[in-house]
Amino acid sequence: MTQRIAVLLGGLSPERAVSLVSGQAIVTALREDGFDVVPIDAGMNLWEQLSFAKPDVIVNALHGEWGEDGRVQGVLDLYGKPYSHSGVMASALAMDKHRSKAVLAAAGITTAQHKLVPREEAAARHVMAAPYVIKPNAQGSSVGIYLVRDDTVPPPQDMLSNDDMGDWVMVEQYIGGRELTVAVMDGKALCVTEIVPKTDWYDYEAKYGDGGSTHQLPADIPEVATALALEWAALAHDALGCRGVSRADFRFDDRNLKKNASKASIVNKMVMLEVNTQPGMTPTSLAPEQAAHIGLSFRQLCRWMVEDASWPR
């Protein structure tokens, strides 16, 4: 019997445009694989939309606030059908950067020095020495992120009119070095990708723009660094209670690193930035690339998400 799959896409967050691309790619792949697929542009009437669609399984391709922070997952828990990715607790925890860093640190994972402050305070004064980054505490995809390089001039004032930042923002020490990411699938870390942005740093344009960055996989880094990134990504997935596919982002500063560096020295060079509980599924997305690297096509990855779906999560 052909399963009826609802794919949630679009949604209400500033990352709506990215979610539409992710969701449509999943819709196409599942249809090619023989599933009866109903795309749902998720709104505040999601329960009504699901009741009308009558799906057997729900694939959540939403990104950002509301779709990735536990609120939609709460609706799906109440609806009572198998769904993909993480449940309420892991989604809410991972989206809250301040609280998730506390969990990661307790698990033995190195994170950057950071503070949670009101947006007005971050705009009024430098709350830590530059260079540092100001980012929303509960958004993703580099929407509304400010890199402060010089604390002899005032902080960026346009954040005051950027409501996507939220009332509280994360001020985080800027970590130089190489941008790494690791996808985790069913609790197993896949591989390490190095992201080389063509802009000054890995901002929204570098992440989603056409040719904004290049991806090297596996990353050309010491084996001990690869092993640590894989270990930490799987550990973070478990510590936060993630399900399905997640992706952990890192900075790795290999300057002045000895050729035969030990794990102890690498620990001081590697920092986990955050964990994404619903990684992008766009043409330039990292998790599908890593799945392909281990021999899993995009269509197979999407089928796996359907087969992995469960209730409750």
pLDDT higher than threshold 60 for residue 271: yes
Superfamily (CATH H level) for 94-111+176-277: ATP-grasp fold, B domain (3.30.470.20)
For residue 298, what pLDDT band results from cuts at 50, 70 and 90?
very high
For residue 265, what pLDDT band results from cuts at 50, 70 and 90?
confident
Higher-pLDDT residue of 104, 137: 104
Higher-pLDDT residue of 258, 97: 97
> Catalytic pick from 146, 280, 289, 313?
280
Residue 247 annotated to the active site = yes
CA quadruple 118, 95, 112, 191: dihedral, nearest 10: -160
pLDDT higher than threshold 60 for residue 25: yes
Quote the tokens at residue 14: 């500033």
pLDDT of residue 24: 97
**Which regions of the chain carry the CATH code 3.30.1490?**
114-173
Residue 274 annotated to the active site = yes
Convert the pLDDT of each residue in 165-224 to its tens digit: 889 999 999 988 999 999 999 999 999 999 998 766 555 555 555 556 899 999 999 999
**Which regions of the chain carry the CATH code 3.30.470.20?**
94-111+176-277
Give yes or no for a contact between 143 and 15, defined as CB atoms under 8 angstroms apart.
yes
Percent of the chain with pLDDT over 70: 93
Higher-pLDDT residue of 44, 211: 44
Residue 4 annotated to the active site = no
pLDDT of residue 282: 78
pLDDT of residue 284: 73
For residue 163, what pLDDT band results from cuts at 50, 70 and 90?
confident
Residue 15 annotated to the active site = yes
For residue 101, what pLDDT band results from cuts at 50, 70 and 90?
very high
Sheet holding 4-9: strands in order across?
Answer: 36-41, 4-9, 57-60
Give yes or no for a contact between 36 and 6, defined as CB atoms under 8 angstroms apart.
no
Residues with Cβ < 8 Å from 22, sequence gap 6 or more? 9, 61, 63, 280, 281, 282, 285
Q: Rounded to an integer, what distance in angstroms lies between the CA atom of residue 179 and that of residue 19?
A: 23
Residue 33 annotated to the active site = no
Residue 276 annotated to the active site = yes
Would strands 36-41 and 4-9 be described as parallel, antiparallel, or unpaired?
parallel
Give yes or no for a contact between 266 and 224, defined as CB atoms under 8 angstroms apart.
yes
> Catalytic pick from 274, 285, 289, 313?
274
**Which regions of the chain carry the CATH code 3.40.50.20?**
4-85+297-308
> Catalytic pick from 60, 91, 213, 276?
276
> Catalytic pick from 96, 172, 179, 249?
249
Residue 260 annotated to the active site = no
Q: Rounded to an integer, what distance in angstroms lies between the CA atom of residue 175 and that of residue 173?
A: 6
Would strands 245-252 and 57-60 be described as parallel, antiparallel, or unpaired?
unpaired
Type and span of the H or E element at 101: helix 97-106
> Catalytic pick from 208, 251, 285, 313?
208
Residues with Cβ < 8 Å from 25, sequence gap 6 or more? 281, 282, 283, 298
Mean residue pLDDT across the chain: 91
> Catalytic pick from 60, 84, 137, 141?
141
For residue 267, what pLDDT band results from cuts at 50, 70 and 90?
confident
Range scoring the smallest mean pLDDT among 173-177, 195-199, 290-294, 301-305 = 195-199
pLDDT of residue 197: 81
CATH code that applies to domain 114-173: 3.30.1490
pLDDT of residue 166: 86
pLDDT of residue 78: 96
> What CATH class is the domain 4-85+297-308?
alpha beta
Convert the pLDDT of each residue in 107-161 to its tens digit: 999 999 999 999 999 999 999 999 999 999 887 555 578 999 998 999 999 889 8
Residue 132 annotated to the active site = no
Range scoring the smallest mean pLDDT among 90-99, 150-159, 197-206, 265-274 = 197-206
pLDDT of residue 48: 97
> Catalytic pick from 13, 15, 70, 194?
15
